[in-house]
């Protein structure tokens, strides 16, 4: 898209403030998600170890795990905030790329 998006300063300030709030919330969620990988024992059986490994995989270490997805959202939000802070220029071009990245688990 070659259209330019221009936002008035008040709107930019509001959007950047919303992004900052979301950024802080995501930062806290990322910090908290690190605790998800602290999985104790589920018992001595092989199936218990498989269950523990399943929880670890969902917590961290794969493109679709909680930690990685939160980190991906954090990175995209950072770029969105920067774009809006610059007056919204380039948002329309970047919008498709952000949607693609968030829709593809192994991107980023």
pTM above 0.85, yes or no: no
**The pLDDT value given to residue 27:** 95
> Residue-wise pLDDT tens for the chain (108 aa)?
456 666 778 888 899 999 999 999 999 999 999 888 887 877 888 998 899 888 888 998 888 899 999 999 999 999 888 888 887 666 655 555 666 666 765 554
- Residue ranges of the domains in the chain? 9-103
Phi-psi category of residue 5: left, alpha or beta, with phi > 0 → left and psi -120 to 50 → alpha: beta
């Amino acid at each position: 898209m070659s259209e330019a998006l221009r936002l008035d300063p008040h709107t930019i300030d509001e959007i950047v403030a919303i992004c900052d709030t979301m950024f802080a919330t995501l930062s806290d969620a990322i910090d908290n998600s690190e605790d998800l990988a602290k999985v104790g024992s589920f018992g001595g059986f092989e199936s218990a170890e498989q269950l523990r490994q399943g929880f670890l995989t969902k917590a961290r270490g794969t493109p679709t795990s909680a930690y990685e997805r939160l980190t991906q959202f954090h990175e995209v939000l950072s770029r969105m905030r920067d774009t809006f802070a610059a007056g919204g220029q380039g948002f329309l071009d970047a919008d498709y790329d952000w949607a693609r990245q968030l829709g593809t688990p192994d991107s980023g």
